[in-house]
Amino acid sequence: MRFIALFLPIFLLNACGGSSWLKQHTTDKEKTVQTQIIQTEDSVQVKQDKEATKAAEEQIKEEPKQTENTSVKETSVVTKPTKEETKTTQSVSQTPSKTETKAEPKNEAKEEAPAKVNENDQIFLTKENRLAHPWYYAKETTPPQETPKWFGEELKFDISWSFVTAGKAQLNSSKFVEADGKKMYLLEAYAQSYPVIDTVFKVRDINMSWIAEDVSRSTGYWQSVKEGSYARDEWLIFNYDTNTYTIHKKDKKGRLEHKPHTFEGSAVVDMLSSLYFVRNQELPLKGEVYFDIVNRGDQYPLKVRVLGKEKVKVKAGKFDCILVEPMISGEGIFVSKGKSLKVWLTDDEYKMPVKMAVEVFIGSVKAELTEYSRK
């Protein structure tokens, strides 16, 4: 009964979010103690500690020789030390001082992730012990004077499966951050099923995407999915200089895997950022929008068809909307099952998603806007 996994695979990845868990997560994330950094055996810090210790040992071994050479230069007569003096000198020389051998203490909690030489060297975890993207710790910075119309939004949805209200979803696009010398918009999608659904299919999903300042392409994403007995944590950063990216994820035994991939073109988007990318485009009636999407190692072309205009009534109000349908290679996303995804966006400068619907193998799944706010 993987209805969440089938729900809105392009525009709202695994979105079925709730309030209590979401509030706790976002509150924890804002605190400086919400995260901890666990370093692997080959981490940069461990390597530096080993090198420092080795250097200290070599320095200790060289000290007797340096002392002896200095004595020769300062006096013309060198007397042979007694056995007791030799024993005492060696004892003192071979005992390192605290300042020489004491390694710098490690902080269990830090305000931000330290600079990395290699992205494979460290494992980043959230307070909930989920494998996290390094940019999860990125600090907010001042946004540009002109921002997309969707910047500063908080959208809340009710998710229904056939006639059952399964949970709620929340989309946030109110943060502008800087990491690795890049300035980006942070997009967040949170998910949680209701208690009545938890007994059958518990969902606790987090999805984050970083989109370039000019909104032309995705710079990276993080997917942390927990649905029933299924769990997946993975993240990546797009390198447009080399057209490569590495998927970092845990295997079934909890070990970290690094799988390199390549992609084509100068701009790609991921699942979550595709919604905001489309919202930033002109959507002429009966027109089409094209772009490439990357998800979990696969790249494929996406076409979004503008079908027409409709009036939509949801809990958040009544809206004049543009109806769009995402397609892959000229076919519906669920063409193998004879299904398709449809999204209603407000017919104004915001192009806010008001309603989304898709038929699945048993019934249909719908998302309807219940609340929205803008900064």
Spell 199-216 as b/e; 16+ CB within 10 A means b.
eebebbbbbbbbbbeebe
C-alpha span between 32 and 28 (Å, rounded)? 8
Do 299 and 291 contact (CB within 8 A), yes or no?
Answer: no
Q: Where are the beta strands (DSSP E) in the chain?
A: 35-39, 122-126, 139-140, 153-161, 164-179, 182-193, 204-212, 218-227, 230-237, 244-250, 256-262, 288-295, 298-314, 317-328, 331-332, 341-346, 353-359, 364-374
Per the model's pLDDT, the better-predicted residue between 216 and 253 turns out to be 216
The predicted pLDDT at position 341 comes to 87
Q: Return the closest-CA partner of residue 309 out of 260, 251, 351.
A: 351
Q: Can you give the residue ranges of every domain in the chain?
A: 3-34+127-374
Give percent of the chain with pLDDT exceeding 70.
64
Tokens of 246: 């590495």
**Position 98 confidence tier, pLDDT thresholds 50, 70, 90:** very low
User: In this structure, are residues 297 and 291 in contact, taking their beta carbons and an 8 Å threshold?
Assistant: no
Which phi and psi angles does 151 have, rounded to 5°? -70, 135
At position 200, the amino acid (one-letter code) is: V
How many Cα neighbours within 13 Å face the side chain of 143?
A: 19
Give the C-alpha separation, 246 to 257, whole Å: 10
Reference 116, options 186, 33, 180; nearest CA is 180
Q: How confident is the model over 37-68, as pLDDT tens digits?
A: 334 334 444 455 556 666 666 665 555 544 44
Q: What pLDDT, on the 0 to 100 scale, is given for residue 369?
A: 98
- SS3 of residue 320 by DSSP: strand
Low-confidence winner among 22-26, 252-256, 307-311 (lowest mean pLDDT): 22-26
The whole-number pLDDT of residue 130 equals 87
Report how far residue 50's alpha carbon sits from residue 340's, in angstroms, rounded to the nearest whole number: 57
CA distances (Å), 314 to each of 160, 170, 367, in order?
Answer: 13, 16, 10
Residues 185-214 have pLDDT tens digits of 999 999 899 998 999 999 999 999 999 999
pLDDT score, position 32 = 36
pLDDT-based confidence at 358, cuts 50/70/90? Answer: confident
pLDDT tens string 272-324? 999 999 999 999 999 999 999 999 899 999 999 999 999 999 999 999 999 99
pLDDT above 90: percentage of residues in the chain? 50
Q: Are 334 and 359 in contact (CB under 8 A)?
A: yes
* 16, 194 contact by CB (below 8 A): no
Model pLDDT, residue 339: 64
Report how far Cα 91 is from the mean position of its chain's Cα atoms: 53
Beta-sheet strands, E only, within 112-163? 122-126, 139-140, 153-161
User: Rounded to the nearest 10 degrees, what angle do helices 44-74 and 83-93 cross at?
Assistant: 150
Output 155 or 375, whichever has higher pLDDT: 155
Pairing verdict, β 256-262 and 244-250: antiparallel
> pLDDT grade, residue 251 (50/70/90)?
confident
H-helix or E-strand spanning residue 69: helix 44-74
pLDDT at 14 over 60: no
DSSP state, residue 203: B
Residue 163: what pLDDT? 81
State how far the Cα of 177 lies from the Cα of 169, in Å rounded to an integer: 23
Give counts: helices (H), strands (E), the chain. 7, 18
What integer pLDDT is reported at residue 40 of this predicted model? 39
